[in-house]
Structure 1
Amino acid sequence: MSQLKCLVLGVLLLPMSLLAVAQSIKQNNLTTPANESTIAPAVYAVDPGHSNSTADLFIYETLQLTDAVIANLTQLGLSNVTAFAFQNSSDVENPPKPTFFGKCKTYPGDYLWPSRSLWELFNLLLGKALIETVPYAAPCYNSFDNYNQSNCDFITNNWTNGSIYHTGDPTSINAVLFQGLTCMPPALIPSASNCTVGGYPSYAVNVSNVAQIQLAVNLARNLNLRLVIKNTGHDFSAKSTGMGALSIWTHHLKDIQFFKYYKEDSYTGPALKVGAGVQAFELYGAAKNYGVTVVGGEGRTVGVMGGYILGGGHSPLSSIYGMGADQVLSMEVVTSDGRFVTASATCNPDLFWALRGGGGSTFGVVTSVVVKAHPKIRVTTLNYALTTGNTTSADQFWAALRAFFDGFINYTAAGNYEYFRIQNLGGGQYYSDMGPWFAPGMSQHELESLVAPLFERFKALGVEVNPVFQEYNDFYDAWYASFPVEPWGSNAVRQASRLFPRTNWQDTTKLDATFDAIKGVVEEGGYVIAFNIAAAPKGGYPDNSVNPAWRNTVMHAIMATLWDPASSVSDMKAASDKLTFDWMQRWRDVSPGAGSYLSEADYIEPNFTQAFFGSNYQKLYHLKQRFDPLGVFYAHTGVGSEDWKMSQMIMGNLPSQNSKLCRA
């Protein structure tokens, strides 16, 4: 366990008292001043230069909870202070049995559920950062005494196309279906008559320093509360929500620092230290200002240093630089015992390995990440639409699409990334738009030369497209022009995905079967979003926990089934089951042993441990038991989640976040 002692906390404390906030604590008829000599907020400040990482701590990372603070709270005579104590070191080696807590996490009404006075004390220790949940769509109802028709109209009009608004809310998530749909705009669920918290967390901590995270982790562990972590809420599988939970909301950890020269392990070069709340549009904008390029997602509002990078993180730059997790040089993280540590190749290397691909909300709460920065790069994009119509039959459409598929290995070998959609318009009509073909490092002339044989094949098939090329001097400009704000929060959709291996393109029979599996889903009404992408760059990639399937992939494909929100439950279930057990099974059958991207996956992916983690799973599970022996962190389909189950189902087989989480 010596590696676990690479504590950022294990440095000399600055000779300064606790930070002051003019408040007082009233508890058990006792009033205690809360000032610089007592507890509000409950933090010490440490020297930012005494980190085990090459990068200094951000200011918010220097504000930490310590054993001395806990001792001070105890001396004040306040009750329930032990609820915020750190985990005993002996529990790491010999974790206590969970029988004391019972089979399920602690919920309102349970013996260990915090009293109102304990929530108030917690809020004071946090510096008034505790938020009692009011669902995002609550202004549409009278349930929370905040009815406002104009606010409701705004929320309704921007519900599905306004992820920038949802990500700024403490508890709103994308995967609303699994939350239980307990507070949706009435226009989306006309039968709804009220709004309840449902599957949203009961409380959220609006994090602005490390001490607040430590307090939340300690409280959740000591009282067996369900704990979730939310940055933006993008995940397809609702990992950042849960009934009765305490949520750690990292959205406002927005610091960014640039290093022109950074050395960590074998890496020497430019780097960025990035707060956990930084979103793609903020990261890319900063990188442009510093004259560098950073690997991140295509979605504008995705929180890059949260679940995205912890789950691997594919990117428009993956074909030349690899996955987002491949860029990580060090991380600062609060572990399940409440301690604040550095994870890098030389400090807590096992934790470092697990965090880079093993999934978010699983091994700890990351507060910042240092990532490689690459040189400024030009990008050329290509857009075109392929559609049936007066001059193009369905047979010609599919033949042209197959011609495009044939070149996938060549395109990724050139560092390209194609983002395209395929849909059934009905009546035997089909549409596919290339939006965009993204060619980092290429001039327009070079891309035109690369795709010339494809357009010749289109012409020979009698298919006409109108390609539009655009060359940019910087990644940010190309990305911003190419990827709009993504849709959000549909209550009538289920998605799934598959990583299709290169070997399927090296055998004509396998490629035929792969293409037919994609085509068949679209012909039956499925909507497909796909990426021609490879994540095994020529320069190599580090040893981390990224799903090994990514290293053999040339296509990541997402399918979606949609239904009318007014459909019967039986019809919804039929559509949902068809996606998992029929359409997706066809994709699995043509790619045996491959996998899926855990952040954009089927909510009930069969054998998810293999699909999401591959041969890494046994090691990841062992590390989960080591770093989180009490099961403080839980994420649906995350490492170790098979040890838990939710007490209720949606449509018969979809675990409901609006239910209790209990040991399996």
Structure 2
Amino acid sequence: MRRLGFALLVSVARAALDFESVLLTSEHTKALPAVDFAKGEGRLPRSGCKAWPGGKDWPSDFEWRLLNATVDGALLKPTPPSTVCYRGPNFNVDQCSYLLNNASTSDFWIEDPVTVLTPWTQGLTCMPALNATGNCTQGGFPVYVLNATTVKDIQAAVNYARNKNIRLIIKNTGHDFGGRSVGAGSLSIWTHNLDAFELIRGYKKGNYSGTAAHFGSGLQGWQLFNHMFLANLTIVGGGFRTIGANGGWMAGGGHGNLASFHGLAADQVLELHVVTADGRYVIADEEQNTDLFYALRGGGGSTYGVVTSAIVKTYPPATLTSSLLSIACNPPPDTNARARFAPIDNSTHFVNDTARFWDALHVYFRFKPAIVLAGGVDWDYLYPLGNNSYSFRTRITYPNASPTAAEALLKPLYDSLASAGFTFTLNRTELTPTPYAGTAITPVSPGSNGLQNTRYRSRLIPHSNFASDAIFNRTFAAIRSVTEEGGYTLHGLAIGPSPKAAGYPGITAAVHPAWRENVLHLAYMTVQPPNLTPKEAREEEDRANRFLKPLRDITKGTGSYINEGDPGEPDWQASFFGANYKGLLKIKRKRDPWGVFWAPTTVGSESWEVVTLDGYPRSQNGRLCRVEGGKGEWDGE
């Protein structure tokens, strides 16, 4: 991390983290008017498109250097990591080999300022490959990256982008499946290094009184868990260790192991520190900037402002007791081929008949409401292996349950399996409580080597779909068909962040209302091959929507989880935001009349479109322009 240099220290509101005390001042704006704050009534620029590199409205190299001086050298102009695989000045065979073989077992991709886990949204213009041919281009990656370590950095970037009409994007860890952290011809605010953490003893806000945690938007899950270990307390975190504990995960709702017990990440927030589209640094809570406080807790990221830090609730230290259930049907003989999808070991139950395999899963999925009602969650992976072969693996986790209590909660499941003719035995070796806040952990790879082009399509399944055998049977048939007939991998979670679990002040958040009645979050995954033509990509999108239509039809009125949703989701406004969309759009218009913040399938994004250079659907490799016929203002209601 770079040094802060001579940055001006300014006293700000109570509970600000150290990096939030360094603010943009009039001295900076006088020296560089391009970073001045917004004045007067906001409106969209006259140009129908954002500035484009090489165009007459794009800042000169000298102007970019002036911005870099204002932010004390924090402005980067990075190239895609895979340039080392292509003939040119950066070509390096050893480094290319490292990207392909070793980078995914390190922090390399997380520490890179441009990389995201799903490069298909970038346009696939520079994929790592030995003996790569063709050219490596920037594509949908940003032109400049602001490595933010102070609020001043973020304010300067927001003001510069607004005043110069430059596309602005926000990137944290790169756990982005919808193209919201990439954008051609853009300036990116990289919040990765805003990882400060502190505890606030005796914090009082509304109905909350006790210890609160205050941390920056760049803090990762593994760092959060280690702070929990040192403090002997619990804070709601994500399911993967390199997910940002704040930022887009929280803004989109944010689920994890404690969601049925303590609610979503958005339900934990007591106070937010934010840089808004006018460049101001504000605090949002139940007493001030209440519209932002509402919208930023579940109303989507990259939309209303840049969250610099959050103050959240803490809980007494918790334990997580889990049990593993693994079922395989006609697994292929090649051990390596099976292990690529899911481990098959001594704890796996084998079923040789496909119909019997689905019967076992029918029993298991019928049990999911019981998991949620007990405050638990599960994490399922169902892999189609070809030739009527499948592998299913799930881990059921109960917070604050002893092994004996967890076994009692699981007994009805195994009784139901026995009644259906399955002699599955409870895996007692897994019934060991793990202190959620009591074990120090190390970071792990995000699981991407630049080739794992996962594309997610998701759906929220409510309690009403489990209310009777008849409706559940139709629901399960739709769930089954997407994998059995469509060939899509299923990632499912029994997860129920009910109003009771959300508590105060979560019940007032902008979280999609469907979450409050949810039992099952389903995500269907496929790998987007890097060699698909635009025509083939459109055909695959149409195919996925056809297979998912019966599931969407039987869950009308619910929705999809935006953080694991698809940028091609039909009627995304209703799917990702539900009845909250109209109110959120009003907040967007009020807070960002300039259109500073834009990302696909976020509130207000339908007023803009990416004119792609490659014709690839949902690609961010193109200029951002207002939709044809736009008149320089937000669409009417």
Scaled by the length of structure 1, what TM-score is found? 0.86
1:451 aligns with 2:413: no
Residue among 564, 582, 596 paired with 2:560: 596
Coordinate RMSD, CA, aligned: 2.3
1:171 aligns with 2:114: yes
- Give the match for residue 576 of structure 1: 541
- Give the match for residue 233 of structure 1: 174
Distance 1:610 1:568, change over 3 A: closer
1:518 aligns with 2:518: no
Distance 1:564 1:171, change over 3 A: closer
Matches within 5 A, 1:521-600: 521-524=482-485, 525-539=487-501, 540=503, 541-562=506-527, 565=530, 570-579=535-544, 581-600=545-564
- Give the match for residue 25 of structure 1: none
Partners in 2 of 1:213 and 1:431 — Cα distance?
46
**Contact 1:400–1:457 at 8 Å: present in 2 too?**
no
The residue type paired with residue 594 of structure 1 is T
1:625 aligns with 2:589: yes
The residue type paired with residue 550 of structure 1 is W
Matches within 5 A, 1:94-243: 95-99=42-46, 102-143=47-88, 145-158=89-102, 161-162=104-105, 164-187=107-130, 192-243=133-184
Distance 1:610 1:489, change over 3 A: farther
Matches within 5 A, 1:623-662: 623-648=587-612, 654-662=617-625
**Contact 1:163–1:301 at 8 Å: present in 2 too?**
no
> Percent identity of the aligned residues?
36
The residue type paired with residue 120 of structure 1 is R
For the residue of structure 1 that corresponds to 2:272, the secondary structure is strand
Deviation of residue 583 (structure 1)? 1.7
1:379 aligns with 2:320: yes
The residue type paired with residue 63 of structure 1 is V
Distance 1:610 1:262, change over 3 A: same
**Contact 2:252–2:301 at 8 Å: present in 1 too?**
yes
Deviation of residue 537 (structure 1)? 4.9
- C-alpha offsets along residues 387-412 of structure 1, whole Å, 9 cap, x if unaligned? 22475421221111111111222211
Distance 1:181 1:568, change over 3 A: closer
The residue type paired with residue 85 of structure 1 is D
**Contact 1:321–1:537 at 8 Å: present in 2 too?**
no
Partners in 1 of 2:566 and 2:299 — Cα distance?
17
1:86 aligns with 2:37: yes
The residue type paired with residue 97 of structure 2 is D
The residue type paired with residue 533 of structure 1 is I
Partners in 2 of 1:378 and 1:491 — Cα distance?
33
- Give the match for residue 290 of structure 1: 231
Deviation of residue 226 (structure 1)? 0.2
Matches within 5 A, 1:7-406: 43-47=7-11, 50-51=12-13, 55-71=14-30, 73=31, 81-88=32-39, 90-91=40-41, 95-99=42-46, 102-143=47-88, 145-158=89-102, 161-162=104-105, 164-187=107-130, 192-389=133-330, 391-406=351-366
- Give the match for residue 496 of structure 1: 457
Deviation of residue 460 (structure 1)? 3.5
- Give the match for residue 11 of structure 1: none
- Give the match for residue 16 of structure 1: none
Higher mean C-alpha displacement, 302-311 vs 454-463: 454-463
The residue type paired with residue 58 of structure 1 is L
- Give the match for residue 336 of structure 2: none
- C-alpha offsets along residues 101-139 of structure 1, whole Å, 9 cap, x if unaligned? x11000112222111111111111111111102112122
- C-alpha offsets along residues 604-651 of structure 1, whole Å, 9 cap, x if unaligned? 111111110111111100000111010000011111100100112766
**Contact 2:117–2:453 at 8 Å: present in 1 too?**
no
Partners in 1 of 2:245 and 2:622 — Cα distance?
29
The residue type paired with residue 505 of structure 1 is F
**Contact 2:382–2:393 at 8 Å: present in 1 too?**
yes
Unpaired runs of at least 5, structure 2: 331-349, 628-637
Partners in 2 of 1:119 and 1:649 — Cα distance?
25
Partners in 1 of 2:10 and 2:527 — Cα distance?
52
Deviation of residue 441 (structure 1)? 1.1
- C-alpha offsets along residues 444-484 of structure 1, whole Å, 9 cap, x if unaligned? 11111111121123233343445242322511468969998
The residue type paired with residue 185 of structure 1 is P
- Give the match for residue 337 of structure 2: none
Distance 1:503 1:595, change over 3 A: same
The residue type paired with residue 605 of structure 1 is E
- Give the match for residue 416 of structure 1: 376
Deviation of residue 295 (structure 1)? 0.7
For the residue of structure 2 that corresponds to 1:167, the secondary structure is helix
- C-alpha offsets along residues 30-78 of structure 1, whole Å, 9 cap, x if unaligned? xxxxxxxxxxx6x53112xx41xxx52111111100124323x2xxxxx
For the residue of structure 1 that corresponds to 2:113, the secondary structure is coil
- C-alpha offsets along residues 429-455 of structure 1, whole Å, 9 cap, x if unaligned? 222001x21111111111111111211
Partners in 1 of 2:453 and 2:228 — Cα distance?
37
Distance 1:486 1:442, change over 3 A: farther
The residue type paired with residue 497 of structure 2 is A
- C-alpha offsets along residues 9-45 of structure 1, whole Å, 9 cap, x if unaligned? xxxxxxxxxx995xxxxxxxxxxxxxxxxxxx6x531
The residue type paired with residue 180 of structure 1 is G
Report which structure shows greater RCO (CA 8 Å, sep ≥6): 2
Scaled by the length of structure 2, what TM-score is found? 0.90
Unpaired runs of at least 5, structure 1: 1-18, 22-40, 74-80
**Contact 1:67–1:86 at 8 Å: present in 2 too?**
no
Deviation of residue 299 (structure 1)? 1.1
